[in-house]
Amino acid sequence: MGKYKGFAGAGMNTNKNVSNVIKQAQKMQEEMEKVQEELEDKTVEASSGGGAVSVTVNGKKEIVSLKISPEAVDPDDVETLEDLVTVAVNDAIKKADEMMAEGMSAVTGGINIPGLF
């Protein structure tokens, strides 16, 4: 057996472990893709100005709806309306990101995987 006796077959065991890790990673990837698809159809809502502007965004960060209260429309103060829309959209996008992160965390067990989505 030579000087490495007792290590016979260790390579096979290592290959089997690597194969198991690869299978687990593939399964996790499939589960992550499924969860991501499901979350892309879900929506979150955010508002600003006490509900003067309301935005609904889906998991793909697409605006599904934007509602502006007639009281928020003042032709002499367009800047305020622009600010309200910006705040509501940014908040909705942040909520969509959090929704996706929570969904992915359920699959990954809380492991942070860079560039996941």
Q: What is the pLDDT of residue 78?
A: 95
Which pLDDT score is estimated for 35? 85
Query: pLDDT, tens digit, for every residue of 77-90?
Result: 999 999 999 999 99
Helix (H) or strand (E) holding 25: helix 10-40
Mean pLDDT score of the chain:
85
Crossing angle of helices 78-108/10-40, nearest 10°?
A: 150
Where are the chain's structural domains? 11-108
**Cα Rg for the chain, rounded, in angstroms?**
25
Q: Which of 4-13, 81-90, 93-102 has the highest mean pLDDT?
A: 81-90
pTM higher than the cut 0.75: no
Per-residue confidence (pLDDT) for residue 52, from 0 to 100: 97
pLDDT for 3: 57
CATH number of 11-108: 3.30.1310.10
